[in-house]
Amino acid sequence: MTSPWGGDRPFTAVVTGAGSGIGLALAAQLRERGAELVLADVDRAAVLGAAERLGATAVVADVADPEAVEQLAEQASGARFVCLNAGIVGPSVGAPWEVPAAEWDRVFAVNVAGVVNGLRAFVPRLLGAAEPAHVLVTASLAGMTVFPGGGAYGPSKHAVAAVVAHAAMALEGTPVGIGMICPALVATGMSPVGADPADVAREALRAVDDGVFAVVPPEWRAAVVDQLATVAAGGRPTPPAPAG
């Protein structure tokens, strides 16, 4: 797929969860590529601050609200690059039965429904424009392999990965591409340690340039495959570990 920022023509990019972390890093690097930015976040102060620094349009929106995302798409009607990045972890990180029902609902509402709401709002517009465009979804390594604990977060990201794969099949043969990044720990509001969000964003945009569908940390790829192969063969899953 041709990158939406190919050539000298300016393009509009939308980033959800843009107030901090990976979203803010994506926004900054898209600005360097010449994008006119529309930034969305549920945190008013954070998104207004990010927009002021980057010369962007700020939209306060909860991606779990379909109407709010529809309004975001209307406001960014000329967008050709959409980063569906917003996500939360949730306070509970134990076994499934230790996570309160309301927390399951909220994590899935933001992480999964937020992506579906974004696809529903933006993809028909992108297809209607009949121009090169791309959707980049922030998934997680926790959506590619299963770790012990993690509460509702890991299951929600598995659902996100399935939604993105389904969308990729549906968009085959169109000028609209889709892909996902599946980082391990990133130093954001979700984790005090991990990779630099700027490095994650840089690799994500490079993957779009190169036509890569999913970005999985190299040291974790064998663990992802091994766990899936074990389960497919009827075995019980064991906690994954990085190579080396």
| Closest to 60 in 3D by CA, of 49, 76, 37, 44 | 44
Between β-strands 79-84 and 11-16, what pairing exists: parallel, antiparallel or unpaired? parallel
Record the tokens describing residue 55, joined without a space. Answer: 């010369």
109 touches 153 (CB < 8 A): no
Separation CA 57–CA 76 (nearest Å): 9
Are 183 and 144 in contact by the 8 Å Cβ rule? The answer is: no
Q: What is the DSSP string of 163-207?
A: HHHHHHHHHTTSSEEEEEE--S-BSBTTBSSSB-HHHHHHHHHHH
Residue 83 designated active-site:
no
Whether 17 and 85 have beta carbons less than 8 Å apart is answered as: yes
In degrees, rounded to 5, the angle at the alpha carbon of residue 47 between the alpha carbons of residues 8 and 25 is 55
**CB within 8 A of 193, min separation 6: which ones?**
185, 187
- Which is catalytic among the residues 111, 153, 167, 205? 153
CA neighbor of 80 nearest in space, from 3, 164, 169, 163 = 3
Beta bridge partners of 36: 12
Q: Which amino acids are annotated catalytic? A: 153
